[in-house]
Chain A
């Protein structure tokens, strides 16, 4: 029974890549190339090629974690370059000894803005590509395959219901994405400029001030937003949800007393039944 193979209804043929996915893959590769060129321009180091290699490998193997990996090695290349290109030991030594004061800090330039633009664009394209060829929605852990079905077939069976259909890709998607990334870049530049220009309350605490301000700037609106959403959800709850909620509150407050009463009632009922059955 365990090795029995059933016909699995599938919508697509194995190995088939929809044109929309190809478009996103090409866009991601193109952006990665630009990203690498810009990074090379910034660091002039062989480390600049690693994000390209990793990103391309993730695209080819359809791994989802290309952008975080690329970001990690990008950050590493920047830090390493700032520390003089002496590798991990040099970075740690310099940071520990002088609290990072001897890092080379080039001023912000157009390449930096382009790097930000390209990285976010590449991340979005990579994730959208993965959504089209692997899965967009999280997989259902209850879905199981028969033992006989293995490898690509098994992966296809598990992922296909959660994959984005190629037919749902529309032309304005990429334009909207470009606008969103541009808007994010403009907001980031403005925000960072405002932060750099602001005076910290205590001298010598520039970095801490900027970090804490950023934390508040992101944390407070998200907290407020979550609270508003929670309130609206509670206000729009159905009568049944409200009844379950109220019952839950009552149970939490009085569960010991209720439990004791019901336990003894159950004991009495079971004893009466046993007597009735002559045991």
Chain B
């Protein structure tokens, strides 16, 4: 591809050659011919070297921490990224400017994420930079963006070399006291069974005495007591099984929705990871159930380190989930997704592969039917071809037929009057229709560009998600499917995006009420499989669903009836004042002292806060009635505090 300076140079040289040849001035001819030959030679050399560059370059990447290469990252950890770009063939490459596509979820600290030069097989381009990971989840390195040019800047080619590497960002390693994992945990480990349950078992501590029953082992007979009472008495010992704890983590759409202070899901994952690690430190068995509105993914309680790592990975995967909604208007997402695809998949958007003819965009528009109302002018634009066809064909025929009929059946003066009136009306309509069409052509440049972008993006999505060959046409007409696939595309590439929370009728799109049934079923299943008194920690956002809790309350009641402990941890929306007595921000603002003319934003915030407080009160009342404590995981609520509350519950259970 010629750059603008390439075109200028080429055109001036060609013009000079033309003048030189036709005016027969050999000085001009020889100068221009030399320049042109040099230009063409440079072009051929560049074109050969830059051809299929994305397939002739190899990218290798390694992520290191202080000790060496890693395959998983840690939240808030700092890592070095080493990138190497190397040609794979003897042909060589032109001068390259290489830019690594730094993932969206990390912060670039220092170093170079870009490099220039002409790499060879023996001397590849190597560069390093340092990143800091953000929240738990997955980091995706897409590859490197390659700009190729000659040394004069006359020619240019841009492509993207794919080298996808996905790495999990695990929640930070810390126990309940916030200690780092480098402390000597093994030497401090308590023996299994420090959490004794008050139930007969095979432990070492005496629990109670009772009358001997046939079948009791003779070694449990308390001989001294039996001798004193003249009756065989058996000793009962405490059970020395560890606590089994199962975490139910809500991953539904309602907690995936981002807000000002972050996502509730991230908070839940951090809490769950903290509890997992704390339990692992005291060798408790911990299970994990991830649920959303569609189903559950469960792992039974275990205590091994492999299990802990597996659970942390599951949590990291869960933290990457993004909200999806088919009813979202795809236009906003399309712009983002197309820009991303243009950068990462330039080869799939080349005009020779995936094209939208310019003339087609003048006459067609899609989708034909949509649930999203985009205004009168957009509707007019969408139907411009129909309006034009109506004016050009149907209207004259209608005019002719009506006048003939009128002349046949009506008196002459009426017919003449009708002829004049219909001529005026038809002319007016004809010009109005044509004017509409012309104006749509003149003013609809953005719409045409959007249509072309949608077609190209739909072609990529259709192939990527296996809808081809007919998927392209389907995605052009079906807004819902296109919106869902665009969201999926963005989620898979870890591109952050935002969705509207409410539809145009004011309905909340992410309440996910189905998750109550899913959670209830999962809890019942856990109760059915429970071996002894277990601890069930429900990390679920129930604030928007306080009127649909019946199935969950029933399941909780059953769990309590089987002597299990249940704790509910509600994620509190970041940025909203927590309920009274929770966290450090527990003090309510004195609203009576607020000025009368408060800003609208303050009023909305106050109403939202009150709504959440009321919902939290209702949830807490409903669960407290069953003996289930409700913990509010507010913004500044530390994990140790929640663990302490869970631990306190253990003690309560022990005394009971």
Contact = CB atoms under 8 A, between A and B. Distances in A.
A153 interface: no
The DSSP consensus for interface residues of chain A is helix
A106 B469 contact: no
Nearest to B27: A112
Contacts of A254: 473
Contacts, number: 239
A105 B30 CA distance: 13
A138 B26 contact: no
10 contacts: A65-B8, A75-B28, A82-B25, A120-B34, A137-B147, A164-B116, A180-B41, A214-B21, A241-B353, A262-B474
Contacts of B48: 229
Given A71-B13, A258-B473, A131 B153 contact: yes
Nearest to A91: B23
B376 interface: no
A189 interface: yes
Contact of A168 (B8, B116, B474): B116
B21 A207 contact: yes
B68 to A, nearest CB: 28
B371 interface: yes
B117 interface: yes
| Chain B interface helix/strand/loop/mixed | helix
A165 interface: yes
Of A71, A115, A142, A181, most B-chain CB atoms within 10 Å = A71
A146 interface: no
A79 B31 CA distance: 13
A130 interface: yes
Contacts of B352: 230, 245
B95 A168 contact: yes
A214 B14 CA distance: 11
Interface residues of A, number: 89
A13 to B, nearest CB: 17
Interface string A229-243: 110110011101101
Interface in B37-65: 37-38, 40-42, 44, 47-48, 51-52, 55
B435 interface: no
B355 interface: yes
B178 interface: no
B40 A218 contact: yes
A19 B354 CA distance: 45
Interface in A142-165: 142, 161-162, 164-165
B477 interface: yes
Contact of B354 (A135, A180, A244): A244
Interface stretch (B249-257, B286-294, B299-307, B361-369): B361-369
Given A173-B151, A207-B22, A233-B52, A138 B472 contact: no
Nearest to A95: B23
Name the residue among B42, B469, B471 with the largest chain A CB count within 10 angstroms.
Answer: B469
B23 A79 contact: yes
Contact of A108 (B26, B52, B478): B26
Interface string A198-234: 0000000001001100100010001001000110110
Contact of B463 (A64, A112, A240): A240
User: Which interface residue of B8, B40, B460, B463 has the most chain A CB atoms within 10 A?
Assistant: B463
A100 B147 CA distance: 47
Contacts of A267: 368-369
Given A225-B47, A240-B463, A65 B473 contact: no
Contacts of A180: 38, 41-42
Interface in B310-324: none
A57 interface: no
B584 interface: no
Nearest to A177: B151
Contacts of B474: 258, 262
Nearest to B1: A138
| B16, B37, B355 — most chain A CB neighbours (10 Å) | B37
Contact of A181 (B23, B38, B156, B473): B38
B413 to A, nearest CB: 46
A244 B35 CA distance: 40
Interface residues of B, number: 83
Nearest to B345: A240
Contact of B472 (A230, A247, A265): A247
B153 A192 contact: no
Nearest to B355: A248
Nearest to B23: A100
Nearest to B43: A222
Contacts of B17: 214
Contacts of B4: 138
Contacts of B355: 248
Interface string B472-486: 111011110000000
Contact of B30 (A65, A113, A270): A113
A185 interface: yes
Interface in B471-529: 471-474, 476-479
Interface in A32-78: 42, 64-65, 67-68, 71-72, 74-75, 78
Nearest to B37: A184
Interface in A113-132: 113, 115-117, 119-120, 123-124, 127-128, 130-131
Given A255-B473, A258-B473, A192 B13 contact: no
A150 to B, nearest CB: 24
Contacts of B3: 138
Nearest to A161: B114
A272 interface: no
A92 interface: no
A267 B369 CA distance: 6
B51 A233 contact: yes
A162 to B, nearest CB: 7
Contacts of A74: 31
A244 B23 contact: no
Interface string B368-399: 11110000000000000000000000000000
Contacts of A22: none
Given A188-B34, A232-B52, A130 B463 contact: no
A138 to B, nearest CB: 5
A236 B17 CA distance: 37
A136 B476 contact: no
Contact of B459 (A173, A248, A258): A248
Contact of A184 (B41, B95, B463): B41
B445 interface: no
Interface string A69-101: 001101100110010000000000001000010
A233 B157 CA distance: 14
B473 A259 contact: yes
Q: Which 10 A-B pairs have the closest CB atoms?
A: A258-B473, A127-B152, A262-B477, A184-B38, A116-B34, A263-B368, A188-B33, A68-B12, A188-B34, A116-B31
Nearest to B342: A142
Contacts of B476: 259, 262
A65 B5 contact: yes
A179 B38 CA distance: 11
Contacts of B174: none
B459 A105 contact: no
Nearest to A69: B12
A258 B470 contact: yes
Contacts of B23: 79, 82, 95, 100, 103
